[in-house]
Structure 1
Amino acid sequence: MSRQKIKLLALSGFLICIQTAQANGLSQLSDEELSNIEGQALFNLNKTDNSSQGLSFYRLGMEAEIALNANIKKLQLGCGGSKGAGCDIDIDNVALTGITTSNAQGAGATTDFILNNPFVEFAISNSNQASTRSIEGFRLGALSALGMMSLGSNENTSTLTDDTGINSLSGDIGVRVTNANINGINITLIGTANARVNDYSGTIIADRSTSFSLTGLKATARLMLGGFIPVPIDLQLTANMNNIPFNTAHRLQVSDVNGNPTSGAYLSLQKKDINWQNIATGQWNNIAAKKGWWLSVPDTQFANLTMDGSGVRLSALDAIGGILGATVDIPAMDLGQRPVNNCYGTLKFC
């Protein structure tokens, strides 16, 4: 086909489009009229100033939903540097899947971790001065997130000796514990006790930490007094679980208490402490992301925990103090979780 024929065909198509537009009643708009028209783009750019921090925040967002199923053998961020030996974040065997309670082979392989409206954001100081402006930090986040973050491995849920997962963590993690039970706690000279922990919520703030604590837990304990015929006694106790190794946390369900997506989750890197904004609410976080890498997950659910307390021994004095209203300190124990199996067939990750 000659070039002249191609040009004629193109011109004919253009004229047909014009005639079709005229037939459909389309009309020309002025610049002022166009400025009043709103549309939705795949990407959007926003700037927010925060004078109290002396920073301007530039955010590039994507109007999209990302469904993610991923395995990471080793995640290490912020190792060494000005903060010395160690890592800000050091985790073995991370899997991002949808929410499932199954421990079956490949239970997570057909599910997805959902990120709605992901974004990248930069914190800039002196943004109006080209000679002195500087990037103070950046973060990756999403308007909302929903899914399961599985960590490490745990073959034996009765002992801490084989747990792997989080070796160190920097961040703030909102924790809600529901339907948690501790069975078979040994109390010297008295007997054994089973405890049901009341629903609990709190925020863990970690800075290159290897362990965390849950304080002020309320529990109903059934104490079985030893003897020829054990006698059950029900007690209301306040307890602390101190120095729980992070590597015994194997399932972080990223959602609100009703299983809906949660807002405000992000991963950031900053040269100084920064209070980032929750873009869903417009509120500035009251917990600052500290220098280095920082993981913030405002809502995670620890549901249906069954903990084997047979390796825990409390003295009779501790038990009596609890009966009288004192806070009982419970030593760290395996939380009884196993990560979601996210293996495909014979492919090995877990």
Structure 2
Amino acid sequence: MLKLKLLFAFMGVVITNAVCADTLKSLDDQQLSQVTGQALLNLNYVAPGGSNPNANIGFYRLGLEAVLELNANIKKLQLGCGGVKGTGCDIDIDNIALTGITTSTAQGAGVGTDFKLTNPFIEFAIQNPDTAATRTVTGFRLGALSALGIMNIGSNGDLNTLADDTGINSLSGDIGVRVTNANLTNVHACTLGVSSSGNSCIGGNLPLIQLNGTANVADYSTTLINNRSSTFSLTKMTAQASASLLGLKLTNVNMNDIPYSTVHQLLVADTDSNGNLIATSNAYISSQSKNIYWQNVSDKTWSSNAAQQGWWISIPQTQFNNLNITQDVFLSAFGQAIPGAIFGTPVNLAPVDLGQMPISNCYGNLKFC
């Protein structure tokens, strides 16, 4: 009992001193109008009409004014399986690790890093929001003003084969992709000969010279629209060949039907004018009973890509960095290659292992790794 009395006495002294040190003062309306502050939570409503492209849908968004830092492992993510779309899942991914940005491949390299979400929010799309008798929830989403980090996906034991790659089984969403520092490692040009079936040089009665080298793919950007997709394509890329290949420029390079399972790192980031990594804006994951255009919270514009019925993930900007595409590409310098390079004849590459490894995010012996 004596201890409680002493504790209360001590608290009374502290509180009294705190009040005396900074006495509360009343403010009139004019003074209050000059005070600014920021709440931890904010609620926003977007009514139908105006620039809202959705027919009679209003949006209620509850946001958190904070930075949420995550380091998380998800063994299996399956969303939107079966239902009105039939067999399969909207999103089906094995082994996801959310980490910060690191280039290290050492064991546990991702453990001390964090995936950052700035101003995360939850939002509801309400059909007929002004009519109590008929209003319904037609969709909801989880998102953030901006996101920065790496989504590490699946596993890849052998960088030279697709057979062992695991990760994305099916995907629904719009993913903005920028390809940087991608290289074709085994490019061949056949001079005074022809390319036979695209896999060798045959000279006939003329002397045959085969030139060998590499080609660097120019920075390339596209948006992939997926609906339960297991593959994607990168088309109309350009590539600059090495000097050993006479500086040949390929203007229509295509990789079609690349399995999503070979994507093991999605760098969720944008770049500034100096090439520095910055957070990408307006990423979200949503579920809706009909196609919905969600608002971009960064500038209050509306997405140009509708989130389709079911589960949908939208990441406006990701990057594939440091890809080495190892396969033989044969071109004929006096036939199809140089005219093709100049006039845009397609150079079609077979899908290959993109050479990515997920960042290790293991705590001790915990799996998965």
Coarse TM-score class (shorter-chain normalised): 0.7 to 0.9
Q: From 152, 165, 168, give the equivalent of 1:166.
A: 168
**Paired residue secondary structure (2:59):** strand
Structure 1 position 223, deviation (Å): 8.7
Question: AA paired with 1:105?
Answer: Q
**Paired residue secondary structure (1:322):** helix
1:252 alignment counterpart: 266
Question: AA paired with 1:263?
Answer: S
1:218 alignment counterpart: 238
Structure 2 segments unaligned to the other structure (5+ residues): 189-198, 203-209
- Higher mean displacement: 315-324 or 297-306: 315-324
2:311 alignment counterpart: 293
Instruction: State how far apart, in whole Å, the 1-side matches of 2:131 and 2:312 are.
Output: 28
Q: 1:223 to 1:153 in 2, by over 3 A?
A: farther
**Paired residue secondary structure (2:280):** coil
2:360 alignment counterpart: 341
1:64 alignment counterpart: 66
Question: AA paired with 1:216?
Answer: K
Structure 1 position 29, deviation (Å): 3.7
What's the CA shift string for 1:179-229, capped at 9, x where partnerless? 1101114642165552210011111110100111111101012496xxxxx
Q: From 124, 147, 159, give the equivalent of 1:157.
A: 159
Query: Are 1:266 and 2:264 matched, yes or no?
Result: no
Q: From 346, 350, 362, give the equivalent of 1:331.
A: 350
* Aligned positions, number: 337
The within-5 A match list for 1:110-259 is 110-185=112-187, 187-189=199-201, 191=210, 192-222=212-242, 232-238=245-251, 239-257=253-271, 258-259=276-277
**Paired residue secondary structure (1:137):** strand
Q: TM-score, normalised by structure 2?
A: 0.83
Q: 1:85 to 1:313 in 2, by over 3 A?
A: farther
What's the CA shift string for 1:301-337, capped at 9, x where partnerless? 1111122224x67799764663452121212111111
What's the CA shift string for 1:155-193, capped at 9, x where partnerless? 111111111110000001111111110111464216555
Structure 1 position 67, deviation (Å): 1.0
Q: 1:19 to 1:200 in 2, by over 3 A?
A: closer
Instruction: Decide whether the 8 Å contact of 1:321 with 1:328 is kept in 2.
Output: no
Query: Are 1:322 and 2:340 matched, yes or no?
Result: yes
Instruction: State how far apart, in whole Å, the 1-side matches of 2:131 and 2:264 are.
Output: 47
2:47 alignment counterpart: 49
Structure 1 position 81, deviation (Å): 0.3
Structure 1 segments unaligned to the other structure (5+ residues): 225-231
Instruction: State how far apart, in whole Å, the 2-side matches of 1:19 and 1:104 are.
Output: 54
Instruction: State how far apart, in whole Å, the 1-side matches of 2:330 and 2:230 are.
Output: 23
Question: AA paired with 1:336?
Answer: G
1:229 alignment counterpart: none
Instruction: State how far apart, in whole Å, the 1-side matches of 2:338 and 2:159 are.
Output: 29
Question: AA paired with 2:200?
Answer: T
Percent identity between the two aligned chains: 55
- Higher mean displacement: 256-265 or 291-300: 256-265
Structure 1 position 125, deviation (Å): 1.2
Structure 1 position 36, deviation (Å): 6.9
Instruction: Decide whether the 8 Å contact of 1:188 with 1:315 is kept in 2.
Output: no
Q: TM-score, normalised by structure 1?
A: 0.87
Question: AA paired with 1:330?
Answer: L
What's the CA shift string for 1:248-279, capped at 9, x where partnerless? 11100001023111111000000111111110
Q: 1:15 to 1:342 in 2, by over 3 A?
A: closer
Q: 1:15 to 1:109 in 2, by over 3 A?
A: closer
Instruction: Decide whether the 8 Å contact of 1:43 with 1:62 is kept in 2.
Output: yes
1:40 alignment counterpart: 38
Q: Once superposed, what is the RMSD of the aligned Cα atoms?
A: 2.8
**Paired residue secondary structure (2:248):** strand
Q: 1:281 to 1:15 in 2, by over 3 A?
A: closer
Query: Are 1:308 and 2:326 matched, yes or no?
Result: yes
Instruction: State how far apart, in whole Å, the 1-side matches of 2:314 and 2:268 are.
Output: 11
Q: 1:328 to 1:46 in 2, by over 3 A?
A: same
